[in-house]
C-alpha cells in the first residue's frame, strides 16, 4: 500500500470526522521534528526555536517521490523565513518584546502574514480538534496582530514605564481549559514585575474550530494590580480570548490560529518547566 507523504490543507469546518481520521491515518509520521520536546532556548535572539529547524525526511511516497519531498522542503523553508522575519523585526525593537502588538511597518506585517498563509496551506493536521493531543501543553506567543497603540498604550502605561514581556498559553485538554499568562515588568522596579492570568474553557465547535468562554482573571502581585486597576477593563478587553478560534496550522512545534476578531496568533511549543 502506498502512503501519501503530505495531505493538502482542508479549511472546511464541516469536514466529516471519518474523512479527517482517514486523512490523518495516511499522513507521513515524523512530518516534523521529534515529539520529544526538549528544552527550548528562551533567549530572544539565541538558539533558534525547534519549529524553525530543518526537517529530517524519514520516508518518501513511492509513486511520486519528488512531490512529497518538495512540499516538506517548502514547509521547512517557509518556517525559516517566518522565524527570520520575526527575529529581524524584534532586533530593531528596544521596548520589551513586541511581537507586533505595539505596531509594525506595513511592509513587514504583509511579509509575515504572507508567510503565515503559505505555512497554513501546508498544514499537516487538517482536523486539529480530532487530534487535540497536538494542541495540548504550553505554548509561547511568537507573533500576533493584537494591537495596543496610541491612547490605549498610554493609558496602560506600556509606553515608557511598564514593559510587556512573554505571553504563554497552557492548554489542558482533559479539562477543556486554557490559561493565558501575560507577563509584565516595570523598568528598574523588580517589585512591580508580575503577570495577568486569564482562565478560559473551550468546547469543540467543528473539525478546526473551538468556542472559548472567559472564566476569570487575576493580576499578581497586588502592586502591579494597582498600576492597572483604573484601566483594568481596557487591559482585559485586549487579551480576553472569549469568542471562537480557528486552528489553521499545528504540528509538534508550531501552532497558528485565527479568531473571531480577525487576529492571527503564531505560537511555538515551549517547555513549561521553564515557565516560572
Residues of 226-255 as b/e, b for ≥16 C-beta within 10 angstroms?
A: ebbeeeeeebeeeebbeebbbbbbbbbbbb
pLDDT digits (tens, 9 = 90+) for 87-132: 876 655 544 456 888 888 889 899 999 999 999 999 999 999 999 9
User: What is the mean predicted confidence (pLDDT) over 121-149?
Assistant: 95
- Higher local confidence (pLDDT), 269 or 6: 269
H or E segment and range at residue 155? helix 150-155
For domain 72-269, give its CATH number from 2.40.128.280, 1.10.3720.10, 3.90.950.10, 3.30.70.270: 2.40.128.280
Least confident of 24-28, 117-121, 229-233: 24-28
Average pLDDT, the chain: 78
Q: Which three cell numbers stand for residue 78?
A: 517557509
pLDDT digits (tens, 9 = 90+) for 183-227: 998 776 666 789 999 999 999 999 999 999 999 999 999 988 988
- Distance in angstroms (rounded) separating the CA atoms of residues 54 and 51: 8
- Distance in angstroms (rounded) separating the CA atoms of residues 93 and 106: 16
pLDDT of residue 162: 82
Instruction: Name 119's Cβ contacts closer than 8 Å, sequence gap at least 6.
Output: 75, 78, 79, 82, 249, 254, 256
- Higher local confidence (pLDDT), 56 or 238: 238
Backbone angles phi, psi at 73, to 5 degrees: -65, -40
pLDDT of residue 104: 84
pLDDT score of 38 more than 70:
no
Is residue 227 within 8 A of residue 219, CB to CB? The reply is: no
DSSP state string for 210-276? EEEEEEEEEEESHHHHHHHGGGHHHHHHHH---EEEEEEEE-SSEEEEEETTS-EEEEEE--GGG--
pLDDT score of 51 more than 70:
no
Band the pLDDT of 165: cuts 50, 70, 90. Answer: confident
Band the pLDDT of 158: cuts 50, 70, 90. Answer: confident
pLDDT score of 3 more than 50:
no
pLDDT of residue 56: 36
Instruction: Tell me the domain boundaries of the chain.
Output: 72-269
Backbone angles phi, psi at 121, to 5 degrees: -70, -15
- Distance in angstroms (rounded) separating the CA atoms of residues 264 and 117: 10
Amino acid at each position: 500500500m502506498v502512503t501519501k507523504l503530505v495531505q493538502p490543507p482542508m479549511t472546511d469546518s464541516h469536514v466529516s470526522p471519518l474523512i479527517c481520521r482517514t486523512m490523518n491515518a495516511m499522513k507521513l509520521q515524523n512530518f516534523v521534528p521529534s515529539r520529544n520536546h526538549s528544552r527550548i532556548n528562551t533567549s530572544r535572539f539565541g538558539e533558534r526555536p525547534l519549529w524553525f529547524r530543518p526537517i529530517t525526511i524519514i520516508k518518501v511516497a513511492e509513486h511520486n517521490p519528488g512531490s512529497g519531498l518538495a512540499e516538506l522542503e517548502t514547509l521547512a523553508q517557509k518556517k525559516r523565513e517566518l522565524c527570520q522575519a520575526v527575529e529581524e523585526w524584534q532586533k530593531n525593537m528596544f521596548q520589551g518584546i513586541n511581537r507586533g502588538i505595539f505596531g509594525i511597518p506595513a511592509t513587514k506585517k504583509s511579509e509575515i502574514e504572507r508567510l503565515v498563509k503559505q505555512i497554513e496551506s501546508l498544514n499537516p493536521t487538517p482536523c486539529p480538534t480530532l487530534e487535540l493531543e497536538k494542541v495540548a501543553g504550553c505554548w509561547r506567543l511568537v507573533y500576533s496582530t493584537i494591537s495596543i497603540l496610541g491612547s490605549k498604550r498610554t493609558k496602560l502605561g506600556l509606553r515608557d514605564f511598564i514593559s510587556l514581556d512573554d505571553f504563554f498559553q497552557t492548554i489542558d485538554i482533559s479539562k477543556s481549559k486554557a490559561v493565558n499568562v501575560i507577563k509584565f515588568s516595570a523598568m528598574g522596579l523588580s517589585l512591580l514585575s508580575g503577570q495577568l492570568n486569564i482562565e478560559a474553557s473551550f468546547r469543540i465547535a467543528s473539525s478546526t474550530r473551538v468556542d472559548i468562554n472567559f472564566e476569570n482573571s487575576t493580576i499578581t502581585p497586588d502592586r502591579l494590580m494597582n498600576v492597572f486597576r483604573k484601566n483594568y477593563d481596557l487591559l482585559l478587553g485586549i487579551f480576553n480570548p472569549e469568542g471562537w478560534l480557528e486552528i489553521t496550522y499545528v504540528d509538534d512545534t508550531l501552532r497558528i490560529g485565527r479568531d473571531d476578531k480577525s487576529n492571527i496568533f503564531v505560537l511555538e511549543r515551549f517547555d513549561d518547566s521553564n515557565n516560572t
